Structure 1
Amino acid sequence: MRFLVIGSGGVGLGLSAFLLKAGCEVCLFSTRRSFNSLTNYFKVDGIFGDFTFKYGQYDVIDSFENLRDKFDWVLITTKTYANEDIARQLCDFKDKLGGVNLVVVQNGWGNAEKFLRCFDKESVFSARIITGFYRKAPNEVEITVHADKMVLGNIFRKELSGQTQEVVDALNNGGFDALVSEDVDKHLWAKLLYNCALNPLGAILRVEYGKLAEKSQTRKIMDRIINEIFDVMRAYGYETFFKNANEYKDVFYSKLVPSTYSHRSSMLQDIENSQKTEIDSLNGVVVELAKKKGLAAPYNEFIVELIKAIEP
């Protein structure tokens, strides 16, 4: 299989490593900032082992005009704020890509919809990933934590989720746990709860996830963020794997936070690197959905304003 991986950050390079290990062909779409480094090699190390791939074992481009072949799958692993631009470019070069399927591998909710302008619902899939990728250099990534299998499916046409089985098989063959699920939307909402509670607060206070659960003050803030998200979910009829906020918080504090205790969020890494964050696709989307239903989400709204105050 041939994959075009759009985004050469931690997730993009990490998944590319496992696909290459499985014998797939991979072409990276990179920003100019990383392009020169990636024309030499890229390296992934950490809890899954150490892997180095030299240029030639994979391809890399910095413009869609340089596309040379058609692909079976496109993985979208960029930051969510780039989606409008990426979607536009994919539309412009759709003929060169061929009859390709997309997998949106991003944090937040509402990302897959951005690609429906030129791709139908049958070819736009989503993935939830709970793995920590730390980008040490433009072409070097460390995998620091892996809390659960990657989940792939179709949020628009659930019965078509099985079409991602070949991607799942490739990832599994490369050594990265993945599975197909018709409930990928529930997985995405569970991940949104986790991200919204931990990512921005960890970035503001510049601490690891585990530290946030140790103080009553930060636990109170996270509790309120979670409560507001469940209010929004109920208003729209969305579901996850927990009956209510209290049931989720029991699992959150007893299992999820301890298993990722030492992880530093990608949002914190963005702030430290003076880069824009994904807050609009996380707590920001909760605020927007709440407003449309006339709901109040003051804790999510306040955390959005704080992040925007410290991002470049």
Structure 2
Amino acid sequence: MKIAIVGAGAMGGLFGARLALAGQAVSLVEASDHAIEVITRQGLRLETPDVQTTVHIPISRAAQLSGHFDLLVIFTKGFHTAAAIDSVRHLVCPDTWALSVQNGLGNAEIIAGVVPAERVIVGMTNLPADLVAPGVVHSHGEGHINLWAGSGKDAQRVHEVAAVFSQAGLPCEADPQVQVAIWEKVAFNAALNSVCAVTRQTVGAVGSTDQGRQVLGDILDETVAVAKAAGIAVDGQRVRASVDYAVRNHQQHKPSMLQDLEAGRKTEIDFINGAVVAHGKRVSVATPVLQALYNLVKASEG
């Protein structure tokens, strides 16, 4: 399968390396000249419990690529999705599909502005990946990927993509209930990312106080209520259990939103808390705590 991975960060690097090692025709698309130079010169280093290797994968800016691709995988942050998919529109042919397993909500709709909605795949992954340095990806721990067509209809290409990913060591399932997985991850991120960002505290510190746990629980309750009102059968107990597990076992972890604020970068709050607030308005579900955390993070961004 001819695959272009847009965004050579932690997840893009993990997927790109695994797929290339499995014999797929992978190209990396990146906007950072430094990352392009490093990966071109020294390759992409992947370190996992079962693989420690360097793989050489073509990498360039989008404009330098030509031809048509079977699959475009978008691995940018949500606020870069529009620019990312627009940059590769010249690679789209009538048989090209696009995939988003990005955090948050709304990316698939943006991608559908370039790739027809009936050829957009949506998904969720909890595979761990850290970008240690440009071109160096660590992945320690287990995870999986759930995929389905964004249209909700069964499609042979989705099953083909799932098989390709699984064969490459990226455990993947074609899952018609993928929206449940997506929303449960959104609930998890809306709680831990926003509260840690606003308080400037680690996951363990937030979960160590009654007040922190109360706010986390309120955000989970609001997000689950919005999802259920939208007809998505999110399991509130399962989401709460996943947050409790993170609080107990990842006490020193700083979620990406906190890291972004500390580094003076823009966050994905619009695609997480902000997106749930917007959905809540459409289904007439009040989200005052989500709204408050959204406002505080936006204020912190300056």
Q: What is the TM-score when the length of structure 2 is the normalising length?
A: 0.89
Contact 1:71 1:98 (C-alpha < 8 Å) held by counterparts: no
Distance 2:158 2:249 in 1: 28
Distance 1:267 1:302 in 2: 16
Match of 1:50 in 2: 52
* Structure 1 alignment gaps of length 5 or more: none
Contact 1:144 1:263 (C-alpha < 8 Å) held by counterparts: no
Distance 1:25 1:87 in 2: 19
Give the direction of change, closer, same or farther, for the CA distance of 1:192–1:250 in structure 2 (3 Å limit).
closer
Match of 2:228 in 1: 234
Distance 1:213 1:72 in 2: 44
Match of 1:297 in 2: 287
Distance 1:208 1:144 in 2: 20
Contact 1:109 1:281 (C-alpha < 8 Å) held by counterparts: yes
The letter of the residue matching 1:297 is T
Match of 1:222 in 2: 216
Q: Does 1:61 align with 2:54?
A: no
Give the direction of change, closer, same or farther, for the CA distance of 1:23–1:80 in structure 2 (3 Å limit).
same
How many residue pairs match? The answer is 300
Contact 1:199 1:266 (C-alpha < 8 Å) held by counterparts: yes
The alpha carbon displacement at 1:190 in A equals 1.0
Match of 1:29 in 2: 29
1:83-102 alignment runs, 5 A limit: 83-91=81-89, 93-94=90-91, 99-102=95-98
The alpha carbon displacement at 1:249 in A equals 5.2
Distance 2:26 2:239 in 1: 39
1:78-227 alignment runs, 5 A limit: 78-91=76-89, 93-94=90-91, 99-146=95-142, 148-160=143-155, 162-227=156-221
Q: Greater shift after overlay, 178-187 or 151-160?
A: 151-160
The alpha carbon displacement at 1:281 in A equals 0.5
Give the direction of change, closer, same or farther, for the CA distance of 1:249–1:151 in structure 2 (3 Å limit).
closer
Distance 2:188 2:216 in 1: 10
Match of 1:283 in 2: 273
Contact 1:17 1:51 (C-alpha < 8 Å) held by counterparts: no
Give the direction of change, closer, same or farther, for the CA distance of 1:296–1:10 in structure 2 (3 Å limit).
same
The alpha carbon displacement at 1:156 in A equals 1.2
Distance 2:251 2:18 in 1: 25
* Structure 2 alignment gaps of length 5 or more: none
Match of 2:255 in 1: 265
The alpha carbon displacement at 1:139 in A equals 1.7
The alpha carbon displacement at 1:15 in A equals 0.8
Distance 2:201 2:141 in 1: 16
Distance 1:253 1:127 in 2: 20
Question: Which digits, 9 at most, give the CA deviation of each residue in 1:130-149, with x for residues without a partner?
Answer: 12322222222222443x31
The alpha carbon displacement at 1:108 in A equals 0.8
Give the direction of change, closer, same or farther, for the CA distance of 1:159–1:169 in structure 2 (3 Å limit).
closer
The alpha carbon displacement at 1:6 in A equals 0.5
Secondary structure of 2:73's aligned partner: strand
Distance 2:228 2:169 in 1: 37
Q: What is the TM-score when the length of structure 1 is the normalising length?
A: 0.87
Runs of 4+ in structure 1 over 6 Å off: none
The alpha carbon displacement at 1:77 in A equals 0.7
Contact 1:13 1:42 (C-alpha < 8 Å) held by counterparts: yes
The letter of the residue matching 1:154 is A
Distance 2:296 2:105 in 1: 20
Contact 1:106 1:128 (C-alpha < 8 Å) held by counterparts: yes
Distance 2:239 2:9 in 1: 31
Secondary structure of 1:18's aligned partner: helix
Match of 1:73 in 2: 71
Distance 1:177 1:290 in 2: 32
The alpha carbon displacement at 1:232 in A equals 1.5
